[in-house]
């Protein structure tokens, strides 16, 4: 029986292990942390978004230039297959109003328990606290609690994660072992720093809902939250790439009202009513939204309508890499074959967030991790002579 090694016990690594074991390999999974899939579990605390229920071409568009590389993987294991996979593990799903797909249980832990039980039934061995330290010739090296170890597998799959949330295992340290094959890490799906004045402090933690965010030609409808450091939230994360690359951010506080309608409402007689109460009554602007208007434009212009429709937010910089939900950069596709095998090291494959792609939140991150993990696992099994080419 051929021996396979998977480094990393996140979704990509577990999927690669599943594919290898199903093909007949004796699989060892080496995880640097005390328990597997820590980032996966953390993501599921607020509702595990497995995938997005949409057609393949719409799904691929979310990956921008990386779509050309990911296409065969997502054709083999796209949104429909993710849903069936979860169901096979005893976790039925439902689709929300925006097309996002969640397990009925919402949390990640029941799915992970079922998956680990399946892998145990396939005789997959999981070693915890095994930190990969590189290679010595063909040998793969680890620091472990007992002693340094050397492994000589028939095939290896690297699924080491990106470079955000280091405390959960994705610290990007693996890039030191592949220095000439890695694009620099950049934060993705992250918040941005804003240097608020003191009068904004009482609004920290307040959400802004039913707004539209604009970054150049890109538009996002989603919630954001005011924080002491700046702005956070899904509506912002969807625009993180163009904003990171220098696009200006403007907020449309009332996207469902045209500018002329807003102006007409503003011009209604208000008598002795304060401007604050007038804005609250005729446009339902919240205290936080009104505070933003004063933050950006003091004194307020006579014609507020254009400002309400395009409120410029002075972003300073992305929040630090380790605060980002995911990362751009990583192992470049030109360092890999179409089977996700390292050109520099035949028999070693790579998968998941360590690859150089990025996508917005909404199920795309997990879908691509699962799809590339399955692809790399099947390709490794093929390299070992146990399965046809994926």
Mean pLDDT by 10 residues, the chain (390 residues): 94 98 97 95 87 96 97 97 97 94 94 97 97 96 96 97 91 95 97 97 96 97 96 96 97 98 95 93 96 93 96 96 95 98 98 97 96 98 80
Same domain, 342 and 368: yes
pLDDT in the model for residue 388:
67
Beta carbons of 382 and 389 less than 8 angstroms apart: yes
Name residue, tokens 């937010």.
313
Range(s) of the domain holding residue 32: 3-187+320-383
Distance CA(372)–CA(84), nearest Å, equals 17
Domain of 88, CATH number, reads 3.50.50.60
Distance CA(63)–CA(72), nearest Å, equals 13
pLDDT in the model for residue 45:
80
Same domain, 8 and 113: yes
Same domain, 23 and 42: yes
Same domain, 88 and 163: yes
Residues belonging to the chain? 390
Beta carbons of 328 and 358 less than 8 angstroms apart: yes
φ, ψ for residue 186 (rounded to 5)? -135, 150
pLDDT in the model for residue 387:
67
Asked whether residue 388 is domain-assigned, the answer is no
Same domain, 276 and 146: no
Which of 263, 284, 318 terminates a domain? The answer is: 318
Q: Is 32 exposed, middle or buried (0-12, 13-18, 19+ CB in 10 A)?
A: buried
pLDDT in the model for residue 46:
78
The tokens of 41 are what?
């579990």
Q: Which residue intervals of the chain are DSSP H helices?
A: 11-22, 38-43, 56-61, 67-76, 79-88, 109-121, 234-237, 240-244, 259-266, 275-283, 287-296, 305-309, 364-383
**Sign of CA pseudo-dihedral 109, 15, 321, 239:** negative
Q: Is 12 exposed, middle or buried (0-12, 13-18, 19+ CB in 10 A)?
A: buried
Q: How many CA atoms lie within 13 A of 352 on its CB side?
A: 30
Asked whether residue 248 is domain-assigned, the answer is yes
pLDDT in the model for residue 282:
95
pLDDT in the model for residue 277:
95
Same domain, 307 and 286: yes
Asked whether residue 389 is domain-assigned, the answer is no
Asked whether residue 251 is domain-assigned, the answer is yes
pLDDT in the model for residue 67:
98
- Among the listed residues 316, 328, 66, 62, the one whose alpha carbon sits nearest the alpha carbon of residue 188: 328
Q: State the helix-helix crossing angle for 67-76 and 364-383, rounded to 10 degrees.
A: 80
Bridge partners (DSSP) listed for residue 285:
none
Same domain, 249 and 340: no
pTM of the shown model: 0.94
Distance CA(52)–CA(79), nearest Å, equals 6
The three-state secondary structure class of 91 is coil
Which of 299, 318, 337 terminates a domain? The answer is: 318
The tokens of 273 are what?
């009513």
pLDDT in the model for residue 263:
97
The tokens of 373 are what?
């993990």
The three-state secondary structure class of 144 is coil
Q: How many domains does the chain have?
A: 2
The tokens of 21 are what?
């074991």
The three-state secondary structure class of 157 is strand
Residue 251: how many other CB atoms lie within 10 Å: 24
Asked whether residue 390 is domain-assigned, the answer is no
């Amino acid at each position: 029986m051929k021996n396979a090694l998977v480094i990393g016990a996140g979704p990509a690594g577990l999927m690669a292990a599943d594919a290898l074991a199903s093909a007949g390999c004796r699989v060892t999974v080496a995880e640097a942390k005390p328990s597997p899939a820590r980032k996966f579990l953390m993501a599921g605390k607020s509702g595990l978004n497995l995938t997005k229920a949409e057609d393949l071409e719409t799904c691929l568009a979310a990956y921008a230039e990386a779509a050309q590389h990911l296409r065969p993987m997502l054709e083999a294991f796209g949104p429909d297959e993710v849903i069936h996979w979860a169901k096979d593990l005893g976790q039925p799903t439902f689709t929300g109003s925006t097309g996002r797909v969640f397990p009925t249980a919402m949390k990640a832990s029941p799915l992970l328990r079922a998956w680990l039980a399946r892998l145990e039934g396939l005789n997959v061995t999981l070693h915890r606290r095994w930190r990969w330290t590189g290679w010595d010739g063909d040998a793969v090296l680890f620091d472990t609690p007992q002693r340094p170890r050397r492994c000589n597998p028939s095939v290896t799959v690297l699924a080491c994660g990106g470079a955000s949330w280091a405390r959960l295992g994705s610290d990007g340290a693996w890039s030191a072992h592949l220095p000439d094959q890695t694009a620099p890490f950049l934060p993705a799906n992250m918040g941005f720093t804003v240097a608020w004045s003191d009068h904004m402090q009482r609004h920290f933690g307040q959400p802004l809902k039913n707004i539209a965010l604009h970054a150049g030609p890109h538009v996002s409808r989603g919630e954001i939250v005011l924080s002491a450091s700046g702005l956070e939230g899904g509506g912002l994360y969807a625009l993180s790439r163009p904003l990171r690359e220098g696009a200006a951010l403007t907020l449309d506080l009332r996207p469902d009202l045209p500018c002329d309608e807003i102006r007409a409402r503003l011009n209604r007689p208000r008598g002795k009513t304060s401007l604050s109460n007038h804005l609250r009554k005729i446009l339902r602007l919240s205290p936080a939204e009104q505070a933003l208007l004063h933050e950006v434009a003091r004194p307020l212009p006579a014609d507020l309508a254009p400002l309400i429709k395009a409120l410029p937010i002075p972003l300073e910089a992305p929040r630090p890499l380790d605060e980002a939900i995911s990362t751009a950069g990583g192992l470049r596709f030109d360092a890999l074959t179409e089977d996700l095998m390292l050109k520099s090291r035949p028999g070693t494959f790579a998968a998941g967030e360590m690859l150089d792609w990025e996508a917005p939140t909404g199920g795309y991150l997990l879908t691509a991790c699962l799809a590339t993990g399955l692809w790399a696992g099947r390709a490794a099994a093929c390299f070992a002579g146990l399965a046809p080419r994926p």
